[in-house]
Structure 1
Amino acid sequence: MPHRPAFPSPSVTRRNVLALIGLGTVAAAAPSLTGCTSGEATVPTVTGSPTGEARRGGTARLAFAGAGAAESLDPTVGTSPCDLARYSVVFDTLFFFADGEAKPALATAAEVDSKAEHCTLTLRQGVKWHDGMPFTAADVVHTLKYRASPDRIAPSELSAYFDLASAEASDDHTVVVPTVQPVGDPATLFAGAGLYVIKKGTSSFSANSTVGTGPYRLTAFKAGVETRLERHDAYWDSNGYAEKVVLLSVDDAQARVNAVKDGQADYASDISFTTAKAGPPGAGLQIRDAGKDLRTTYGFVLNVSRDLPSDPRVRRAIKLGIDREALVKAVFLGYGEPANDLFGAGAKHYLDDVAVPERDVAKAKRLLKQAGATGKPFVVRTAEYETGLNSSAELFVEQLRSLGLNASLAKVSTTEGYDPAGMKTCDAISFPLGPVSLALTYTRSAAFETLAFPDEELKQAVATAISTTSDRERADAWTKAQRVMAARGNWVAWGRGDVLSLAKEKLTGIENRESPKYPWLGKVGFTA
């Protein structure tokens, strides 16, 4: 059968880029570049949730960054943390990420045949929809065909690997999906695709009709305001603790903090480093971090379709010449560390032994001079999708000027930040990425001209990592891909910052899966 190229080619839209970085359309307040440094004491944080036994009952209220009227109950549409937090407890996926790798959910196995022409999904038995109907293979087939439809706002990137429209149920708990290119680890691809399973026959979503198989069922929804949920007592993975969950859609990070401070919420997701530095704003409250393996990597992607970034001497000069420590101190305020120019920290097969480049300003200047880049214009594009992206870009521009580049800043709104046409006009683009799988990091970014690094060795390594059924070969291929990016790639990943939240001390059951910015709330509750 014909196979597609090694890299997927989704429709190149701003929404695709947002899906890659796992962000919606909102941002938090940025710290000042003249603020505290990591040399000053930081307020201690608590990693994760309390470990005490949770009690049954109560209502947990959690505030997330939302998308206003654009929020949707259709799990193929929304991208904001509030949308994604809602989807993850109303619906289930076939697989999900935890501890850097795919774990079974509605599917217990995904296997390809010896010719890599079909993937067989084995589904979990005994699962019930919120309306009491049994979950079957027909629901998965409907979901795959729904996601493959050209009518979708953003068709699933799984279509680059699987012929979703041709999926068939061989029995009530088995689905066979033809492949369109060799796939060695289908579970990881399904886990990274945001594939929430919807019931057979579903074509629209409303507060009165939406059902899932997740731990909580929908009872009320108002876009940009709140979602009300009640526990699904027939959930396949044991019942949750809180009887009810309310998700509050709050764009502004400080407003989320105020909601907890004033008793309107029990949890505020994704608070700023400045807020954390000030300490808990009241008794019985905690500043929490998601842990080092779930930090967000901050950096810049160099657009090698433009003259200066296409020169390896220029890329090397920037990697050697920037002051990572200064960036970390100014932006993270002590809640982070320098990075080694690789995205994907925390994912399975991430290469931990790549050192942070040692700064060498003199060599960086020599390389720029040799490339004829000294004094040439160099445009850095940024939007505040993450706390500190804009301030880091300001400092980055200053550092590039000190190296000899005529650097300037193009600061745009979050509605413009990852517009494909706008990105094409810039030499570097500020870019954050959490601990998503390496398959997602390398294949989806390769689909965008402004983000891609067109290197044959890299392409072959990624193709092998995606296609092989051998975990040893896959590990070796990802090692090769990462060494290419560290040595000559177009990523300038300068730091990794904590993902921070504010919570009441007794709130527990916050489980980080895809991203700590929208944790899984299936076991949320309160300790006694």
Structure 2
Amino acid sequence: MTRRHVLSLIGLGAATAAVPSLTGCSSDQGTAPTVTGAPTGTARRGGTVRLAFAGAGAAESLDPTVGTSPCDLARYSVVFDTLFLFADGEAEPALATAAEVDTRAKRCTLTLRQGVTWHDGTPFTAADVVHTLKYRSSPDRVSPSELSAYFDLAAAEAGDDHTVVVPTLRPAGDPATLFAGAGIYVIKAGTSSFAANSVTGTGPYRLTAFKAGVETRLERFDGYWDGSGHADKIVLLSVDDAQARVNAVRDGQADYASDISFTTAKAGAPGTGLQIRDAGKNLRTTYGFVLNVTRPLPSDPRVRQAIKLGIDRKALVEAVFLGYGEPANDLFGAGAQYYLDDVPVPERDTARAKRLLKEAGATGKPFVVRTAEYETGLNSSAELFVEQLRGLGLDASLVKVSTTEGYEPSGMKACDAISFPLGPVSLALTYTRSAAFETLAFPDKELTDAVATAVSTTSETARADAWTRAQRVMADRGNWIAWGRGDVLSLAKATLTGIENRESPKYPWLGKVGFTA
């Protein structure tokens, strides 16, 4: 498991707009109104839509196994298709219509959608999926797929033109969710390079031009299997700075700016005919810290409980989200299927927290917090978190690093807590991928058994019960300090519609984007 796995888990989405000091900052002045989602009117046919996303500069790639920035992922999702996708927190068919494991749990059979064509007019077949799985699992990849823990991807074979058989390495009771969470974009058989003049996909738009870190140009593919799009052309602008994305919309250079800051939203729409939009409560990003239980203090359950009880979540929410969020209950995955809604937000009890730290011999001991600005406000929240820990009696200090260093294993290993944001990705992805990193994992037998059951069982009732048990462990004694959930905000022209949030609102699906007027 690599740093890229962490970045793809959190959806990257680094926003680099300046964040004001937390001193004296609150939401008392109220928030500017937002519109949830996009207009419901049907988009008219034609036109060019320009959308600005956070990018990765020269590191952007047309290879869908490489990029992790929102601009990369927005591009991949309209040029290529996945086998399964997430919608409303659940796996739904895309290029595959079914994934079934045999009774002995020895193999998984993928049933593929018929009538799909590539942008060059050739038919989509099982050979393309077999090639994709072998390509994705190759050790030559920057980041081989975590599906290799469950399936022998390199041994995948075509049953016929519309079925693929993949041997299993361990029980997988809900393979569709595992495939959806892995985000494997299907590439054409024989593809080994991704030049701008040769890239072909099965998605609703085809690539016509690409310049890393600058822009991507796309044209509608009228042969798309799920109905052709509305806009004639889409232009994706790669703009790292959040304020620059806002300025692009304000100045008419773009129609949409993804992932704007809370400070910008609070100031209101910067022009007539523009809207500040939120993606809805079920798509909020959970902000928190993961305690590194390989270190002495976080390994003590009394220290973990003291931090859960002692932090001021309300102060963090008010200072960071500026009214666009709410306190959280130490669980990641809000909005995902099986998420446990009935776990309350812990009531603050600083007196008990201090007693627990004293009992653990932790009072006055060093406690290092590591942070990088993967989300607007993460660094500021870490500053306030450190102040609160000091107030409880810990000798807390802060290590700020760049987003290129944030999840480097050696740096994480030297810290007691690591800032961590996560959207509503599937619980299977949240729990299995985080467990693969020693510094993020929580080695607890009850948790491990519950997650193993949730992933392997074919019983819906048993799966729901297992995820309930896993989440109660994490809320009760786990190493997550998830303190708040913040809105994912964007700026758009009021007539822009068709923005569809699937995996993450930071890189929405644009296959039906267009203008109502």
Residue number in structure 1 paired with 2:437: 448
Residue number in structure 2 paired with 1:67: 56
Residue number in structure 2 paired with 1:93: 82
Residue number in structure 2 paired with 1:166: 155
Residue number in structure 1 paired with 2:375: 386
Structure 1 unpaired stretches of 5+: 1-10
Cα shift at 1:205: 0.1
Letter in 2 for 1:248: L
Q: Separation in 1 of the partners of 2:428 and 2:340?
A: 14
**Cα deviations by residue, 1:464-485 (Å, 9 ceiling, x for unpaired):** 0000001110000000000000
State whether residues 14 and 376 of structure 2, in contact with CA within 8 Å, keep that contact through their aligned partners in structure 1.
no
Residue number in structure 1 paired with 2:124: 135
Residue number in structure 2 paired with 1:6: none
Letter in 2 for 1:283: T
Q: Separation in 2 of the partners of 1:416 and 1:109?
A: 39
User: 1:205 aligned to 2:194?
Assistant: yes
**Cα deviations by residue, 1:285-325 (Å, 9 ceiling, x for unpaired):** 00000000000000000000000000000000000000000
1:184 alignment partner, one of 173, 183, 205: 173
Cα shift at 1:415: 1.2
1:292 alignment partner, one of 277, 281, 286: 281
Cα shift at 1:47: 0.3
State whether residues 13 and 375 of structure 2, in contact with CA within 8 Å, keep that contact through their aligned partners in structure 1.
no
Cα shift at 1:40: 2.7
State whether residues 108 and 167 of structure 2, in contact with CA within 8 Å, keep that contact through their aligned partners in structure 1.
yes
State whether residues 28 and 384 of structure 1, in contact with CA within 8 Å, keep that contact through their aligned partners in structure 2.
no
1:152 alignment partner, one of 136, 141, 160: 141
Residue number in structure 2 paired with 1:79: 68
State whether residues 337 and 426 of structure 2, in contact with CA within 8 Å, keep that contact through their aligned partners in structure 1.
yes
Flag the 1:364–1:463 CA change in 2: closer, same or farther, 3 A: same
Residue number in structure 2 paired with 1:352: 341
Residue number in structure 2 paired with 1:3: none
Q: Separation in 2 of the partners of 1:127 and 1:152?
A: 27
SS of equivalent residue, structure 1 residue 270? coil
State whether residues 25 and 67 of structure 1, in contact with CA within 8 Å, keep that contact through their aligned partners in structure 2.
no
**Cα deviations by residue, 1:466-510 (Å, 9 ceiling, x for unpaired):** 000011100000000000000000000000000000000000000
Flag the 1:481–1:421 CA change in 2: closer, same or farther, 3 A: same
Q: Separation in 1 of the partners of 2:24 and 2:84?
A: 42
Q: Separation in 1 of the partners of 2:25 and 2:353?
A: 28
Residue number in structure 2 paired with 1:23: 12
Q: Separation in 2 of the partners of 1:347 and 1:30?
A: 29
Q: Separation in 2 of the partners of 1:127 and 1:36?
A: 53
Residue number in structure 2 paired with 1:486: 475
User: 1:407 aligned to 2:396?
Assistant: yes
Residue number in structure 2 paired with 1:249: 238
Q: Separation in 1 of the partners of 2:399 and 2:201?
A: 43
TM, length-normalised to structure 2: 0.99
SS of equivalent residue, structure 1 residue 192? helix
Task: Give RMSD over aligned pairs.
Answer: 0.8
Residue number in structure 1 paired with 2:272: 283
User: 1:230 aligned to 2:219?
Assistant: yes
Letter in 2 for 1:150: P
Residue number in structure 1 paired with 2:458: 469
Residue number in structure 1 paired with 2:260: 271
The percentage of counterpart residues that share the same residue type is: 85
TM, length-normalised to structure 1: 0.97
SS of equivalent residue, structure 2 residue 512? coil
Flag the 1:369–1:466 CA change in 2: closer, same or farther, 3 A: same
Q: Separation in 1 of the partners of 2:103 and 2:198?
A: 42
**Cα deviations by residue, 1:207-260 (Å, 9 ceiling, x for unpaired):** 100000000000000000000000000000001000000000000000000000
Residue number in structure 2 paired with 1:261: 250
Q: Separation in 2 of the partners of 1:17 and 1:243?
A: 35
Letter in 1 for 2:405: E
User: 1:425 aligned to 2:419?
Assistant: no
Structure 2 unpaired stretches of 5+: none
Q: Separation in 2 of the partners of 1:31 and 1:332?
A: 12
Cα shift at 1:35: 5.3
Q: How many residues are matched?
A: 517
State whether residues 435 and 442 of structure 2, in contact with CA within 8 Å, keep that contact through their aligned partners in structure 1.
yes
Letter in 1 for 2:48: T
Letter in 2 for 1:499: V
Residue number in structure 1 paired with 2:294: 305
SS of equivalent residue, structure 2 residue 259? strand
